[in-house]
Amino acid sequence: DYELCEDWEHLYPVPREDLINLHREHLLHLLEMGDMEKALQLLQRIEDPGVCLAISEQSLDQHPNLAASHFLADYLTAHFYASLTTARRNEIQALYIGSKMLLTLPELSRVNYVHLSSRPLLMLEQLLMNMKVDWVALAVQTLHQLLAGQEIGFTVEDIDSLLSKYAEKALNFPFTLKEKRS
């Protein structure tokens, strides 16, 4: 049905908003089906960059599944970086990094942290509070790789500071040891 609508679009004038809605729904359908290759082809077929940007942003704002969010954040960053406001750019990059962090977690545990996908530092803190040290190690490694040369509202130093804070708390004993009397 989407392809038929695309054919109609080439034959008859379609209002811009209807065109955006059509392509957005088609893109979300392809992403939900896991067909990233066809989704990319669809975005490449759209000739107007403004329409393509609107479709990509609106699709991301629909909060699709993890893989789709990761794909859209990556696409927007790669193709429309200069067109985005600084705040929106930081938001999209944080979502990209958060989704990448989620993908390092065991599949069954992702559901517990998916609501934090746009807040990677908060996700890292939650992992620390839940004592998921092995997962934290993978997440920190991923963060260090992704943050190289990027500005998204936090830095490697912020991560190190968070880790130091929780390491200090882990060594803090709330009681004093009593001397044993003989």
Same domain, 101 and 121: yes
In a domain, 13, yes or no: yes
Distance of CA 132 to the CA centre of its chain: 21
Counting the structural domains of the chain, the total is 2
Going from the C-alpha of 50 to that of each of 16, 83, 148, the distances in angstroms are: 10, 9, 29
Q: Which among 120, 101, 119, 102 has a CA at the least distance from the CA of 111?
A: 102
In a domain, 59, yes or no: yes
Q: Convert the pLDDT of each residue in 105-153 to its tens digit.
A: 888 888 898 888 888 888 988 988 888 888 888 888 888 787 776 666 6
- As given in the structure block, the two tokens for residue 17 are 């908003």
Is 55 in contact with 24 (CB distance < 8 Å)?
yes
Domain boundary among 84, 106, 126: 84
Q: Convert the pLDDT of each residue in 61-90 to its tens digit.
A: 888 888 898 899 999 988 998 888 888 888
Q: Could you identify the residue written with the tokens 């609508």?
A: 5
In a domain, 99, yes or no: yes
Domain that holds residue 101: 86-170
Same domain, 102 and 38: no
Residue 114, CA atoms < 13 Å, CB-side half-sphere: 15
Dihedrals phi, psi of 98, to nearest 5 degrees: -65, -40
Same domain, 80 and 90: no
Same domain, 91 and 69: no
Give pTM, 2 decimals: 0.75
